[in-house]
């Protein structure tokens, strides 16, 4: 039996599991902070795929450089997202996405 | 079982367990710690995939900055950040949608695994010495990827300025009704005013 973690398939499966858990959490939770954390989990899953496929085709470092940019974008997104959550809390005194319904009324 | 397989298993279990804790946790602080566990597990995966530089960046940026930012906001909101029992809306549609997304993603992964089993057998090739090192990643970052690298600095500065612009208050005084109290009111018996930075702290100055 060949040892685990020497094929790209294990990483594809793990990244798909992580992405599914993140997407599930984004849909079933109503706390915007938890939803933002689930977005971070999904970004991390795609980053893992980028790095794993770069390991499969190691002629250039494009996958790792791309993952680096994804990390930079994720950091910017977390800063802006948390600021928006603070503004939303100041407006509605709540961090539940069900309360973000001003445009509906 | 080689030692590499055991390491892979430990990192995979850390990732999955942390993600599940984040999704399930009632207390968002536990959710942030679950996110931390996931991030550290993925950094371990990066080490296994010969991406030493990215593992360091992952720990510094995610574990050191993003999770701490989440914890700051959670501390700022206090008890108001806790989950509240969902009211009149049924969770059935949300759970069905989530399971649908999970089914689509897992089916895509299954197809990808099949394709890679056929095409290249998915087996990782042997590597040159400096694959994933700071030197090789930096060389590509400063030659081929120079324009997006510089643009990402602009993105970061714009996002930080935007975050400040969105989060600042303007210090408007608003009257709060008794059933509309913030946690600052509950804990400190009144609104907490920021100290005027132009005034030096003296004995009779109130904080």
- Residues contacting B193, CB < 8 A, separation 6+: none
Q: State the CATH number of the domain containing residue A63.
A: 1.10.287.3510
**How near does any CA of chain B get to the CA of A26, in Å?**
8
Query: Is B123 in contact with A7 (CB distance < 8 Å)?
Result: yes
Residue by residue, DSSP assigns chain B as --HHHHHHHHHHHHHHHHHHHHHH-SSHHHHHHHHHHHHHHHHHHHHHTT-HHHHHHIIIIIIIIIHHHHHHHHHHHGGGGS-----SS-SHHHHHHHHHHHHHHHHHHHHHHHHHHHHTTTBPPP--TTTT-HHHHHHHHHTTTHHHHHHHHHHHHHHHHHHHHHH----------GGG--HHHHHHSS--PPPPTTSPP-TT---
Count of Cβ atoms closer than 10 Å to residue A78 Cβ: 25
CB B47 within 8 A of CB B31: no
Closest Cβ–Cβ partner in B8, B15, B23 for A24: B23
Which comes out higher in pLDDT, residue A26 or B189? A26
Query: pTM value?
Result: 0.80
Number of domains in chain A: 1
pLDDT at residue A1 in the model: 44
Contact by Cβ (8 Å): B43, A47: no
CA pair distance A39, A45, nearest whole angstrom: 10
**CA-wise closest residue to B185 among B69, B80, B71:** B80
| pLDDT of amino acid B2 | 84
Q: How many angstroms separate the first and last alpha carbons of chain A?
A: 62
As a whole number of angstroms, the distance between CA A26 and CA B25 comes to 13
Could B140 and A65 be called an inter-chain contact, meaning their C-beta atoms sit closer than 8 Å?
yes
- Digit-coded pLDDT (tens) for B99-123: 887 788 788 778 777 776 665 666 7
User: Given pLDDT bands bounded at 50, 70 and 90, which one contains residue A51?
Assistant: very high
pLDDT for residue A25 is more than 80:
yes
Over residues B40-69, the pLDDT tens digits come to 999 999 999 999 999 999 999 999 999 999
Q: Which chain B residue has the Cα nearest residue A13? A: B109
B87 or B32: which carries more pLDDT confidence?
A: B32
Taking residues A34-49, report their average pLDDT. Answer: 95
Helix (H, G, I), strand (E, B) or coil at A11: helix
The full set of domain ranges for chain B reads: 1-77, 179-207
Q: A23 lies in which domain range?
A: 3-104
Q: What is the pLDDT of residues B9-29, one digit of tens each?
A: 999 999 999 999 999 888 899
**How high is the pLDDT of residue B149?**
94
The domain defined by B1-77 carries CATH number 1.20.120.1200: yes
Query: Given an 8 Å threshold on Cβ–Cβ distance, is A23 in contact with B105?
Result: yes
| pLDDT at res. B203 | 58
d(CA B103, CA A16): 10
Closest residue, chain A, to B91 (C-alpha):
A28
Pick the residue of B21, B34, B42 with the most A CBs within 10 A to test the interface with A by mutation.
B42
pLDDT of residue B190 exceeding 60, the answer is no
Shortest CA gap B129–chain A (Å): 12
Distance from CA of B189 to the nearest CA of A (A): 17
Minimal Cβ distance to B69: which of A69, A78, A96:
A78
CB contact under 8 A, B66 and A40: yes
Q: What is the pLDDT of residue B171?
A: 57
């Amino acid at each position: 039996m060949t040892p685990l973690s020497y094929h790209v398939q294990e990483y594809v499966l793990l990244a798909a599991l992580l992405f599914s858990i993140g997407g599930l959490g984004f849909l079933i939770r109503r706390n915007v902070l938890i939803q933002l954390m689930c977005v971070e989990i999904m970004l991390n899953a795609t980053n893992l795929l980028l790095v794993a496929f770069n390991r499969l085709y190691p002629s250039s470092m494009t996958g790792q450089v791309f993952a680096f940019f994804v990390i930079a974008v994720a950091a910017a997104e977390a800063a802006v997202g948390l600021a928006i959550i603070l503004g939303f809390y100041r407006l509605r005194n709540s961090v539940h996405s069900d309360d973000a319904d001003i445009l509906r009324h | 079982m080689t030692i590499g397989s055991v390491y892979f298993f430990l990192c995979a279990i850390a990732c999955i367990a942390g993600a599940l804790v984040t999704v399930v946790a009632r207390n968002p602080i536990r959710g942030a710690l679950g996110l931390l566990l996931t991030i550290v597990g993925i950094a371990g995966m990066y080490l296994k995939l010969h991406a030493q530089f990215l593992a360091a960046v992952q720990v510094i940026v995610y574990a050191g900055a993003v999770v701490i930012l989440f914890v700051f906001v959670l501390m700022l909101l206090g008890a108001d950040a806790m989950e509240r029992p969902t009211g009149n809306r049924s969770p059935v549609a949300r759970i069905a949608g989530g399971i649908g997304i999970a089914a689509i993603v897992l089916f895509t992964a299954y197809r990808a695994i099949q394709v890679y089993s056929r095409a290249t057998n998915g087996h990782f090739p042997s590597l040159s010495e400096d694959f994933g090192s700071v030197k090789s990643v930096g060389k590509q970052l400063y030659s081929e990827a120079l324009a997006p690298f510089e643009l990402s600095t602009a993105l970061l500065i714009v996002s930080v300025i935007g975050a400040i612009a969105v989060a600042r208050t303007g210090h408007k005084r608003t009257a709060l009704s008794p059933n509309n109290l913030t946690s600052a009111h509950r804990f400190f018996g009144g609104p907490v005013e920021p100290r005027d930075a132009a005034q030096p702290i003296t004995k009779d100055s109130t904080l």
